[in-house]
Structure 1
Amino acid sequence: MRAVFSIAAILGGVGLIACTSDVETGRDSYVELCSGCHGPAGRGNGPAAASLEVPPADLTAIAARNGGVFPKTEIMAKIDGYAKGQEHHGAMPAFWPLLEGRTVLVETGDGIVTPTPEPLVELTAYLESIQR
């Protein structure tokens, strides 16, 4: 019974961990990794945008393009580079080497709890915070 209680206590904090990710730390990661192409406000107008064949997405309109829902899992997969270590297609580089480290448990909306690098969760939380 004690083991069940411990597991329940751990899983009970999952939502708290995912919901309290440091948006400011995510903003710092955004400035370092994303603003060169997506711009300081996330509108797709960074200094490198003009040199890209495909214009960077307006990251402030992700939810609007998805029926008002911010697709957290899909965004994390896009940032992460889909499949670690495999060839990444498109202009956006895979940032997974920069997003490794401590993991937090994230409920992905389908009842599955997944250990996810904390910097990736924080960056995604920041992107969610800038939706208009």
Structure 2
Amino acid sequence: MHKIAMAMLGVALLGACQDNNVMPGPQDGRALFMANCAVCHGADATGNGEMARAMAKPPKNLTLIKVRHGDTFPRAKIMSIIDGYARSKTMTGPGMPEFGVLLEGDLVPFDSGDGIQTPTPRKLVALLEYLESIQAER
């Protein structure tokens, strides 16, 4: 019993040692995308997920964000869509759901392109980094 308690304490201490200063990267966001977004946007993010056919307005091809915005990835705009701030209240059909789990956890400094570091949930930053990494080249 004592060994089990010591092992559990070791695991808890190891988790507490996570370096919260390490910024999330695309690899961190891929799992979040697969768990939260792929059902509509597809595993390849082109808008062909299982739920896409059932939607009144098909999901966007997320690999073309940069192409649609003049070869620039609009970090602030995309963040405001995935965090729920800029979602349209007039969407027909199921629309894009809110993902409260992405708002949980620690915060990291995020620069949306204006030079200001804003404390932002790590999971949202990871998802944005993933989306930026999968952009198609012209």
The TM-score normalised by the length of structure 2 is 0.74
Q: How does 1:1-132 map to 2 (within 5 A)?
A: 20-82=23-85, 88-90=89-91, 91-95=95-99, 97-99=100-102, 100-132=104-136
Instruction: Return the alpha-carbon distance in structure 1 between the equivalents of residues 76 and 108 of structure 2.
Output: 14
- CA change 1:102–1:127 in 2 (3 A) is same
Q: Which amino acid aligns with 1:46?
A: G
Percentage of identical aligned residues: 45
Q: Relative to structure 1, is the Cα distance of residues 89 and 25 closer, same or farther in structure 2, using a 3 angstrom cutoff?
A: farther
Which contiguous aligned blocks of 4+ residues in structure 1 show a shift greater than 3 angstroms?
86-89
Say if 1:81 and 1:88, in contact at 8 Å, map to a contact too: no
CA contact under 8 A between 1:88 and 1:94: conserved in structure 2?
no
Q: Which runs of 5+ in 1 are unaligned?
A: 1-15
Counterparts in 2 of 1:57 and 1:87: CA distance versus 1, 3 Å: closer
Highest CA radius of gyration, 1 or 2? 2
Gaps (5+ residues) in structure 2? 1-20
Q: CA RMSD in A?
A: 2.0
Moved more, 59-68 or 105-114: 105-114
Q: If each structure's helix is expressed as a fraction of its own residues, which one has the higher value?
A: 1
* TM-score, structure 1 normalization: 0.78
Deviations 1:85-118 (A, max 9, x none): x9955311122x1112110001222232200000
Q: Matches of 1:88 and 1:27 in 2, distance apart?
A: 27
Q: Is the 8 A contact 1:103 1:118 kept in 2?
A: yes
How far apart are the structure 2 equivalents of 1:28 and 1:102? 17
SS in 1 for 2:110: strand
SS of residue in 2 equivalent to 1:30? helix
